[in-house]
Structure 1
């Protein structure tokens, strides 16, 4: 198997200045015509997580069981829900990036990966600061611990996972538009197949393997260990996350190689 993926990555790196320009335009397009301006893309997820805290912790005062990472339901939901929203936004926008750029790709021989990278990086510019803001709110409860350093590789690996998965789906969606509807449905139910709405300990032990079929389960577990417990994520978190990235990278390499001469025609 030739290294088609490596060629794509080299193309993206060579055109990194163009990617940055495209990314800034993508972010600007998301708030164009809104009264709140640049604040609007950040306000939407912030208001969502604020609602979790207000409803579950302030109004109802709901509490989790003894074995949960934290007793406050709202505080627990925020740690998993915000990374999940970042993942969904990057994957959904990245998945349709090639279809949206079809006209441009027909006229210009640009590497298709640039447009998927644009969509994923635009999501990162919006959700990355929000995730760091949440970290600044949670980490003081545990003091200055080494575990906080784990947030850096977790965020970078989540960005890489989102990019690789989005590009895989973008190529598949170019070939078959049904992929967009199918993935949209899977993302809508995926939150229920991850330890976001409930601790992993509450899921039946014999069926916990199902949760690991969700590529975000490892990352959510990692964020929960760092932000809710002040602990370094266990080996299972890193193993599952890297395994997902490796499998998707292999799949992407095959797809890029086989679709190279047909991709623009599909669009």
Structure 2
């Protein structure tokens, strides 16, 4: 675990620089646009608004028994928005070292700073949106106390995205095919998680496949909190911590083996 801990220490020591880089990253996304900072928020907002309009208002679709809510649009939003946040953060994190290759070749900066910049910039956009969704769903369960656990879920998702994003960034530096492969996995991943349908609707014999998606547990946690007003079940935290442990171990091994070759790969 020495390599992973060294990366964490480097990130903490350069936290002020990371914050400056993150703010510049967010500003660069809407530079030269008329709506400015509103642009990064519009796409996810319009997407979830379309879910509500089409499935709840136009078609009035309803889920069957065993679902945490009967409203299809409301169900989709709770799972789809965290999934979009996860995909955006991990994708940007995966490409962060390639995008910063020029700087890394000229400056002896820790590579993890650039992955953290990309992931945190994404979180500054999606984090407030997820918090707003939490407030919007509050009336469904009368703002019961478990709603505060949304922030713990957001924290766990941030850690998962940062760890996986950095792991994939190193792999992408060594093998560019990683970017195409992960893009494909993201496109099918939404079907291998309880986002479009409740977990109870998936065939029981094949339900284990859903747990291969690291976001399955967190999506369940969001659904339990926002749709049912309940605390996330123990399985949500056990599975999430299990995924984090596996990714940290893999990252520790990869960082140790790539330290001398990473800049050359870029």
- TM superposition score category, shorter chain reference: over 0.9
Match of 1:233 in 2: 232
2:31 and 2:190 map into 1 onto residues whose CA distance is 30
Greater mean deviation of Cα atoms: 26-35 or 13-22: 26-35
1:199-242 residue CA offsets vs partner (Å, 9 max, x unmatched): 00000011111000000000000000000000111111111111
Partner-residue secondary structure (3-state), 2:88: helix
How far the C-alpha of 1:31 sits from its partner, in A, is: 1.0
Equivalent runs, 1:197-208 vs 2, <5 Å: 197-208=196-207
1:133 and 1:149 map into 2 onto residues whose CA distance is 13
How far the C-alpha of 1:108 sits from its partner, in A, is: 0.3
1:120-161 residue CA offsets vs partner (Å, 9 max, x unmatched): 000000000000000000012212322112212111000000
Equivalent runs, 1:49-60 vs 2, <5 Å: 49-60=48-59
Match of 2:169 in 1: 170
Q: Which runs of 4+ in 1 moved over 6 A?
A: none
Equivalent runs, 1:44-193 vs 2, <5 Å: 44-193=43-192
Partner-residue secondary structure (3-state), 2:109: coil
Match of 1:34 in 2: 33
How far the C-alpha of 1:260 sits from its partner, in A, is: 0.5
Match of 1:257 in 2: 256
1:66 and 1:154 map into 2 onto residues whose CA distance is 26
Q: Structure 1 regions of 5+ residues with no counterpart?
A: none
TM-score (norm 2): 0.99
How far the C-alpha of 1:33 sits from its partner, in A, is: 2.2
1:30 and 1:91 map into 2 onto residues whose CA distance is 17
Match of 1:243 in 2: 242
Give the count of matched residue pairs: 266
1:68 and 1:34 map into 2 onto residues whose CA distance is 42
How far the C-alpha of 1:187 sits from its partner, in A, is: 0.5
Q: Structure 2 regions of 5+ residues with no counterpart?
A: none
Partner-residue secondary structure (3-state), 1:33: coil
1:74 and 1:142 map into 2 onto residues whose CA distance is 17
Match of 1:14 in 2: 13
2:139 and 2:152 map into 1 onto residues whose CA distance is 20
How far the C-alpha of 1:105 sits from its partner, in A, is: 0.3
How far the C-alpha of 1:66 sits from its partner, in A, is: 1.7
